[in-house]
Amino acid sequence: MLRNKNILIGITGGIAAYKICELVRMFKKNDANVKVVLTPNAKEFVTELTMDTLAQDRVYIEQFNTTDKKPEHISLCDWADIFIIAPASANTIGKLANGIADNLLTSLACAFTGTKLIAPAMNTGMWENRFVQKNISALKNAGMHIVEPESGFLACGTCGKGRLASVEKVFNEAALLLYENQALKGKKILITAGGTRENLDPVRYIGNYSSGKMGKALADAAYNAGAEVTLICTFEETKPYKTITVNSALEMENAVKNEAQNANCVIMAAAVADYRPAECSVSKIKKDKNEELTIKLVKNPDILANLCKNKKQNQIIVGFCAESDDLIENAREKLAQKGCDFLVANDITRKDIAFSSDYNEVYILSKDAPIKKIDRSTKENIAKSILEIIFKGENSGN
């Protein structure tokens, strides 16, 4: 699987740097090409000669030490299939999160647009520092993959979280990413997420409890699998793929119409309001002496049904169904009414998978295949399973 894959490994200054010697050997034993980049401080822990010998290629340290026409941070970016930074120090993590490019490694991280895998290692106090955690969150939001440190005995003599994850885990994560990056390559996937808000006046709205976590997990998983992703969501989101922020059902309908034209697959994970106020007050509705307030509601367009009526040839359309009663029966009825290729159904009465949870459990219905159940797991894992089922169905003609 790794034959002729180009692995770029960046090593920062930390005692765990010596462990990366074994990581390089693992990639070489699996027929991958490896190039190593050291920060100036990393040379205090591993030698150029060691890495030169293991990688069977010269080690890169100086940013502009090149004999060709391209600076190193451009030529190496063009070459690499994945960029692994291990161990990643708190200092380098802070630079990556803030776009600082003051050495070859950080310049590469700034310029490289492919898959990045970061394996932090540091003292427990540093790892738990709120600014370090803020930087880690920023890297995750930017689409970088984090292999979190493990707990155990540290070189500084303390015991806690901060030890570099095992090289086997870093290797396996990288291999999985390289494999997944090919699965949906060439696909254009449109995904919606979050609950729409239907305004009553400038300060009030009718909404629902959808957090959008399932839709975001699907978008992340599709992007990691190599797809060209567009996420239409009801909240601000910074991602390495295209995002469009909308508020109401009508705004979502317009955005979906525009983006669905070129999509191979549309996944409607958003909780779109069925009704909206017939009128939206331009000024705040004031409380008066009446004990009741009557609001007239009108139906919103059925975005999923309209998509299905106008679907392109070979386009896959996936709907979602959140139910509190008779889950499978209602899902079957919705699948028939809407005409989508797949319907993902989940029970909103369960507190362990309900709105805003990081977990889910779903049933996937389709026209010509038995119902498939995906047992309770993280929404990230559920998203991967949903995509696998959808595109396996496409390949088998279901």
The more confidently predicted of residues 350 and 243 is 243
What mean pLDDT comes out for the span 353-370? 89
> Dihedral sign, CA of 218, 220, 226, 231?
positive
- The CA angle 194-196-201, to the nearest 5 degrees, is 145
Burial class of 285 by CB neighbour count within 10 A (0 to 12, 13 to 18, 19+): middle
Average pLDDT, the chain: 90
In tens, the pLDDT along 90-114 reads 999 999 999 999 999 999 999 999 8
User: Catalytic amino acids?
Assistant: 156
CATH superfamily, with its number, for domain 6-182: Flavin prenyltransferase-like (3.40.50.1950)
Strands 275-277, 265-268: pairing kind: unpaired
CATH superfamily, with its number, for domain 185-396: CoaB-like (3.40.50.10300)
- Global pTM reads 0.69
Residues 258, 303: Cα–Cα separation, whole Å: 12
DSSP letters spanning 80-147: -SEEEEEEEPHHHHHHHHTT---SHHHHHHHH--SEEEEEE---HHHHH-HHHHHHHHHHHHTT-EE-
In tens, the pLDDT along 170-220 reads 998 898 888 766 789 899 999 999 999 999 999 999 999 999 999 999 998
Residues 92, 100: Cα–Cα separation, whole Å: 9
Report the percentage of the chain scoring pLDDT > 90: 72
In tens, the pLDDT along 37-87 reads 999 999 999 999 999 999 999 999 876 555 555 556 688 999 999 999 999
Structure tokens at 190: 């449109």
Instruction: Please report which confidence band the pLDDT of residue 287 belongs to, taking 50, 70 and 90 as the band edges.
Output: confident
Question: Residue 277 pairs with which residues in a beta bridge?
Answer: 297
Q: Any alpha helices (H) in the chain, and if so which ranges?
A: 20-29, 48-55, 72-79, 90-97, 104-111, 124-128, 130-141, 167-183, 213-224, 249-260, 303-309, 327-338, 379-396
Q: What is the CA radius of gyration of the chain?
A: 25
Report the percentage of the chain scoring pLDDT > 70: 95
- Residue spans in the chain of domains classed CATH 3.40.50.1950: 6-182
